[in-house]
Amino acid sequence: MATNLYYFLASAASTAEHGASAAGEGGHGAPLFKLFGLDVTAQVTTTWVVMALLILLGWLATRNLKREPHGLQNVMEFVTEALVSFLSSVMGREKARKMMPFLGTLFLFILVSNYSGLIPGAGYVKGFAAPTSVWGVTLGLAICAIVAVQVYGVQKKGIRYFSHLFKPIYLTPINILEEIARPLSLSLRLYGNVFGEETVTLTLLSVVPYVLPMAAMLLGVIFGAVQAIIFTTLTAVYIAMATAEHH
Amino acid sequence: MISVGAGLIALAAGLGVAFAAIGSATAQGRTAAAALDAMWRQPEASGAIQTAMMLALAFMEFLTILVLLVAFMIVGKIG
């Protein structure tokens, strides 16, 4: 049943992308060149740019750490502190600080990826498209998140962690199905939002070329941040559930 | 010339998204109203309420997104 669902969703995603490219989105999903036999699309190259940007930002901010931060270090400390205090309400401050390297990276990558689709030329310029507007990228992120949940759960409780699948025993199939559904729902939510928002902007653009698409882009600014927060929060909730102590 | 079949597919896609949007908008409105009510009663719990509200909204939003993807899929079949 799960494989059927997978094929259905995969064909949905691919036809959705092809439908949009037929509607006029230039070069969506067409490979630019091959690397080690794998197709490199515009989304992949943009992913590299986002990665380089975040690594450069991290390096610049932590190159010369001071007790009294100013400049870039101040900005990054503010972002980190805001994220920690937000995630503390989900999983507690101690856990939030411990999981921050992973969750913070997820958040920043998704945020910058979503916003890269708002830069003029995204989707039209060769080699430049929002990475989160294809299902492959968001599914990769979701699989990372789910694997991390299992790893943290096993790290915390050992093999005993998997006992939650058999509690209560007659719900075992449902529990296993839930574990499979998690990455699907995480990835499809992010992909559907970014892709849907892009398509709406495109449709409005073809009807009224001026001013009106700005409304959709404004929604894109809000949704880009909200989706990044939701992806991170849901991952944090899953980690908190996996590492919770039962009494 | 657009065939009747293509028109029916387009109608199905449009109606599907419309009904999904009605459902999730109603549910999200109720959620937001309840959350605002709770925040007004207890402003010091705003942070926790906001997080829970956002998660609940995301789960409702997901159903609409699913219908949207299906709509794109069947519209792609008009070709």
Question: Residue B30 has what pLDDT?
Answer: 95
Do B51 and A233 count as a contact with CB atoms less than 8 A apart?
yes
pLDDT at residue B41 greater than cutoff 90: yes
User: Is the torsion defined by CA of A190, A195, A198, A199 positive or negative?
Assistant: negative
Task: Convert the pLDDT of each residue in A163-222 to its tens digit.
Answer: 888 878 888 888 888 888 889 888 988 888 888 888 888 888 888 888 888 888 888 888
pLDDT tens for residues A98-142?
A: 888 889 889 999 999 888 888 877 767 777 788 888 888 899 999
In this prediction, residues A63-75 reach a mean pLDDT of: 79
Contacts of range A147-153, beta carbons closer than 8 Å, 24 or more positions apart: A148/A102, A148/A235, A148/A239, A149/A235, A149/A238, A149/A239, A149/A242, A150/A242, A152/A99, A152/A239, A152/A242, A152/A243, A153/A242, A153/A243
Q: What is the residue extent of each domain of chain B?
A: 24-79
pTM over 0.95: no
The complex's ipTM?
0.76
Percent of chain B surpassing pLDDT 90? 39
CA torsion A150→A152→A154→A160, rounded to 10°?
A: -90
Cis peptide before A168 (omega within 30 of 0): yes
Give the CA distances from residue B17 to residues A18, B12, B71, B77, in Å, rounded to whole numbers and listed in that order.
19, 9, 7, 17
pLDDT grade, residue B23 (50/70/90)?
very high
CATH number attached to the domain at B24-79 = 1.20.20.10
* Closest listed residue to residue A193, CA positions, set A79, A87, A113, A82: A113
A234 touches chain B (CB under 8 A): yes
Q: Which of B9, B50, B51 to mutate to test the interface with A (most CBs of A within 10 A)?
A: B51
